[in-house]
Structure 1
Amino acid sequence: MSEKDTNLSRLFVSTTVRRRDIGWFILSFLLPLLSLRWAEAQQLRKIHVAIPAITPAAAPFAIAKDRGYYREEGLDVDLIVMPSAVGIQALIGGNVSFSTQGGAGLLPALRGAPIRLLFSAYRRPMYWLYARAEIRSVGDLKGKKVGVSSIGSGPDSLLRDVLKKQGLEGGRDVVILPVGSGIARFYALQAGSVDAAMLSIPANFMAQEGGYRQLVSFIDQDMVELQGSILASLQLLESEPALAEKFLRGSVKGFRILRDNRAVTTQVLVRFLKLKEDAVAKIYDVIRPGLTPDGTLSEELQKKSLEHILARVGLKEPPRLETIFDFSLARKVNDELQARGWRP
């Protein structure tokens, strides 16, 4: 063998050894990391949580999931979009661990459903009633069709209340149709399936740009409508209080980001809502005033949140508030985070 061939052979062997050593080095680095991730995944508990739509109402939960706050609690949270009425039924039936449908849970709770509202991110109704341009007022909706997410939902109750103030009865003078969550209601309006619709963000901006007429901005009304809430069944609260506390803690952290950090919230919502940053920044400025201070409500606001739905269950006065609301766990979590000096 020539000296040249010998040198090439040595170079080949040396290169092969180096590649092998590099490969072993990479494996020795990656295997513990992969093992750790696998072990972590094995330890996480998968839970299902109902959200009404991909809207800013679900922001606290989207942020908590995105930032890893649920994983810190040992939870793998699956946020599942369900119409409000379906989400509440899933909660009662034990098909989801928690529901975030907010106001939609108050009606069944008033009727005796074994559920409690534990937390609420928003206290102002983030809904807008839009109609075809030729409809100039709420009174003009007589004989018309109005779209809501589902019968018994928060938008449904708000609509019936504003109709009543104009001497109209929903279901008799005005046809109320369940046409789906999120922007589905705008598409129903656009297609002519309904004459007006209760819209949430970002569908309200779409309607404005499309030349539809805004009849009511509910966020500007003296009303309390709970959104971005956490509801749990009594069965879960009694059998698994630790699970409820873990989910609350992760959610409260997400809420604090939403409340205090515009930049991070915008980044998360760009991904969650699949909108451009300038649109999300505009949305943030609209929703920020509607937040509760810490996810809890005073007794006065609890009572006010029930006002527009009491008549639907034949009540003149609300029942004992503790049969509907239980903010004790949210207050405990807030106090603990405050004592620890937790900062996002």
Structure 2
Amino acid sequence: MLRYQGSTGQVMSWELAENLGYFSKVKLQWEGDTTSGPANIQAAATKQIEFGGAFNGAVVKLAAGGAQVQSVISYYGSDDQTFTGYYVKDDANINSARDLIGKKVGVNTLGAHHEFLTREWLHQQGLSEDEIKKVQLVVVPPVNTEEALRSGQIDLAALNGVFRETAVARGGIHPLFADKDIFGKFSYGTLVFRKDFIAQNPDAVKDFVQGTARAIRWLQITPRDQVIAKFTEIITKRGRNENTKLLEYWRSSGLPVAGGVIAEKEIQIWIDWLERNGELPKGKVKATDLFTNKDNPYSNGTFGPTTGPTGEAVAAK
């Protein structure tokens, strides 16, 4: 039994894998929901759950702090349909990175995707580290972020999914930048297990990874209406009193590579980032020590990029 934390109103790829019958040796046990990647992987590192997922920069920081964890598969990313946009009000007179000095940016949690991408964009736009420190990051729950922007509590809002689409539909705001503008199609987060758990339960981890990879592939090649129908079925069946209307805003898996195979650059870029900012001693962490693709069928030779989740041939993705 693999304990995990989910996300309210959403179906995670591993939950989909279980529903589709892609696991043969493991079962999942939901231990509640989380809205924080760093807290989720910390829970995995401290044995409250078996696996957790977070932004890769948060995974690097956790490992650098001594946690013995290893990433086994990518689980979210950005593409043309699924991404995080960073929005300002139309009348805010904020047109550049320099205009954000002294301003407030609303993010869902510190030490994760929204913070890293904001600071990386500011760096790429030419701000010095001292100037970047003058841009204040404010933690705001995603459900309240749009209102915080419109009421002037924050000046820039990180919005994705249903929160982005409904906010944009109401008008009066526009994106200053988006994460997909920085790195293009990119995988941003991975699932981690403790290394001792992997060593003691190699068959369970292998079964989990292969099933989750196939579920990701199913999402990548299945028509959107069928995905939403399946998600609705799963959420209704599990009976957690969730709002299925949010599923209308599902657009894609966000993962650019078949089956969520991890690329070294997706880890290395955040090691470089932390080293550059003085938050990680140079050379302390090696990217190749932090992840493995050995159990992913889309990496180990079982399937190829033109293979579907049950071995069928499909168009390349």
Both structures adopt the same fold (TM-score exceeding 0.5): yes
Work out whether 1:49 is the aligned partner of 2:9: no
Distance, in Å, in 2 between the alignment partners of 1:189 and 1:112 is: 37
Residue 264 of structure 2 is aligned to residue 299 of structure 1: yes
The structure having more radius of gyration, on CA atoms, is: 1
- The Cα shift of 1:332 comes to 8.0
Q: CA RMSD in A?
A: 3.3
Residue 321 of structure 1, aligned match among 283, 287, 290: 287
SS of corresponding position for 2:245: coil
Q: Does 1:274 align with 2:244?
A: yes
Displacement of 1:318: 7.6
Shift of 1:200: 1.8
CA distance in 2 between partners of 1:231 and 1:238 (Å): 13
What is the match of residue 189 of structure 1? 149
| Letter in structure 2 aligned against 1:91 | A
How far has the Cα of 1:276 moved from its partner?
6.7
Deviations 1:11-67 (A, max 9, x none): xxxxxxxxxxxxxxxxxxxxxxxxxxxxxxxxxx3x322356756xx6423422443
Q: Which residue is 1:265 aligned to?
A: 227
Q: Where is the helix percentage greater, Structure 1 or Structure 2?
A: 1
- Does the CA contact (< 8 Å) of 2:88 and 2:173 recur in 1? yes
Task: Give the TM-score of the pair, scaled to structure 2.
Answer: 0.77
Give the Å deviation of 1:250: 2.2
The letter for the 1-side match of 2:84 is: Y
Find 1:229's aligned residue among 181, 184, 190.
190
- The residue identity in structure 1 corresponding to 2:49 is V
How far does residue 178 in structure 1 lie from its aligned partner after superposition? Answer: 2.0
Residue of 89, 107, 121 corresponding to 1:132: 89
1:40 aligned residue: none
Instruction: Name the SS for the 1:328 alignment partner.
Output: coil
Residues in 1 aligned to 2:103 and 2:181: alpha-carbon distance in whole angstroms: 24
2:89–2:173 Cα contact (<8 Å) kept:
yes
Structure 1 gap ranges (5+): 1-44
Q: Which moved more, 1:270-279 or 1:227-236?
A: 270-279
Per-residue deviation, 1:150: 1.3
Q: How many residues align?
A: 290
Report what 1:118 is aligned to: 72
Query: Could you say what secondary structure the match of 1:120 adopts?
Result: strand
Distance 1:241 1:90, change over 3 A: same
Q: Which moved more, 1:121-130 or 1:196-205?
A: 121-130
Structure 1 residues 64 and 247: CA distance shift in structure 2, 3 A: same
Contact kept in structure 2, 1:100 and 1:231, CA below 8 Å: yes
Matched, 1:99 2:52: yes
User: Which secondary structure does the structure 2 equivalent of 1:94 belong to?
Assistant: coil
Question: How many Å apart are 1:331 and its aligned residue?
Answer: 4.4
Q: For residues 175-234 of structure 1, give each alpha carbon's deviation from its aligned partner in whole angstroms, at most 9, with x where no partner exists.
A: 112223x43433433454322122221222122123222111211322675445211111
Q: Cα–Cα, structure 1 residues 51 and 224, in superposed 2: closer, same or farther, change >3 Å? A: farther
Question: Cα 1:325–1:93, aligned 2, differ >3 Å: closer, same or farther?
Answer: same
* Structure 2: gaps (5+ residues): 236-242, 313-317
- In structure 1, what is the Cα distance between the partners aligned to 2:247 and 2:45? 37
- The correspondence for 1:147, drawn from 95, 98, 106, is 106
**Does the C-alpha gap of structure 1 residues 341 and 246 become closer, same or farther in structure 2, counting only changes over 3 Å?**
closer
1:75 corresponds in structure 2 to 27
Give the counterpart letter for 1:164 in structure 2.
Answer: H
- SS of the residue corresponding to residue 275 of structure 1 reads helix
Does the Cα contact within 8 Å between 1:101 and 1:230 map onto a contact in 2? yes
Q: Distance in 2 between matches of 1:187 and 1:164?
A: 27
Partner of 1:220: 181
Change (3 A) 1:184 1:115: farther
Give how far 1:247 is off: 1.7
| Contact 2:25/2:204 (<8 A) preserved | no
- The alpha-carbon deviation at position 141 of structure 1 amounts to 1.5
